[in-house]
With several copies, the nearest count.
Chain A
Amino acid sequence: MSFSIKKQGEIVVVDVEGQLIVGNRQELKQKVLDELEKGEKRFLIDFSQTGYIDSSGLGVLVSLSKKIREQGGELRLANLNDDLKTLFELTKLDTLFQIADTRERALESF
């Protein structure tokens, strides 16, 4: 499991490869916060290569979303498979996040 970060135009795109769980969520948090400190404002997390996410992974997404908003930025999510969609629906977090079906749509939506 790992996170790869790259910049596409003005947007920081993070791919979550494997699980996003209690064992590695801090790594994701730190990577995104580092970019936020450098002044980045627009973030997209792409879950096309993600396995499962646990409650602490969801917690990190909520926390990042708040911190980014506080800096006047935006966090969007893309490419949730059916299982992950269900996870966001069960927790109603689908109402808190802007979720796009594809990476392209997410990038366009900023």
Chain B
Amino acid sequence: MTDGSDDGSLPLDSMRLALDLEIPSDVRYIEQVVELVTRQCAQLSFTARHCAFNVPVALSEALANAILRGNGEDREKHVRIHASLDYMRLVMEVADEGEGFDLDDCTIDPTTDENLERVDGRGLFLMRKLMDSVERFNDRGNVVRLTLRRA
């Protein structure tokens, strides 16, 4: 552990934040969940780009998929979010109540000529571009785990 700086600013490398949250399957919650998580990232001095771009876009995608694809927008079903972050990285897990899916099978390349004008299919692609890793977190495949290293 470093000793922080002389002005009493906190030694970030010994800090760890965690957040758990459960929301009904309604896309209107996405924006506030994103805000909550990015505020925690700002707390740990993640870069402005991570806070304003990588985290918001990737997390929105994961939440939208969980709500729309995993839970079929059934408000009786819920989406659980777990985020933990420290000086090294942010880890976000998004769990839905769906059947699960295969990340690799479902990811397309939306930048090819035939896909460029598609209206959908950019979610997993963007998550993978904006995070350091995107994984299935369990066998069923209904929990996605996103990891971003602190720059």
Proximity bits, B65-85, A CB within 8 Å = 1, else 0: 000100000000000000000
- Which of B31, B61, B130 makes the CB contact (< 8 A) with A19? B31
**Chain B interface residue count, Cβ-Cβ cutoff 8 angstroms:** 28
- Which of B27, B49, B116, B130 makes the CB contact (< 8 A) with A95? B116
Within 8 A of A (CB), among B84-133: 110-111, 116-123, 125-126, 129-130
Q: Is A51 an interface position by the 8 A CB rule?
A: yes
State in angstroms the CA–CA spacing of A23 and B132 once bound together.
26
Would you call B31 and A83 a contact (CB within 8 A)?
A: no
Q: Is B12 an interface position by the 8 A CB rule?
A: no
Q: How many A-B residue pairs have CB under 8 A?
A: 78
Within 8 A of B (CB), among A13-29: 19, 21-23
Would you call B31 and A62 a contact (CB within 8 A)?
A: no
- Which of B31, B121, B129 makes the CB contact (< 8 A) with A90? B129
Interface residue range, chain A: 20 to 34
Would you call B31 and A91 a contact (CB within 8 A)?
A: no
CB neighbours (8 Å) of A92 from chain B are 110-111, 116
Interface residues of A (CB under 8 A from B): 1, 19, 21-23, 51-56, 58-60, 62-63, 66, 82-83, 86-87, 90-93, 95-96
- List 5 A–B pairs whose Cβ atoms lie within 8 Å, in order of A's numbering: A1-B31, A21-B31, A52-B53, A52-B56, A54-B64
Interface residues of B (CB under 8 A from A): 8, 27-28, 30-31, 49, 52-53, 56-57, 60-61, 64, 68, 110-111, 116-123, 125-126, 129-130
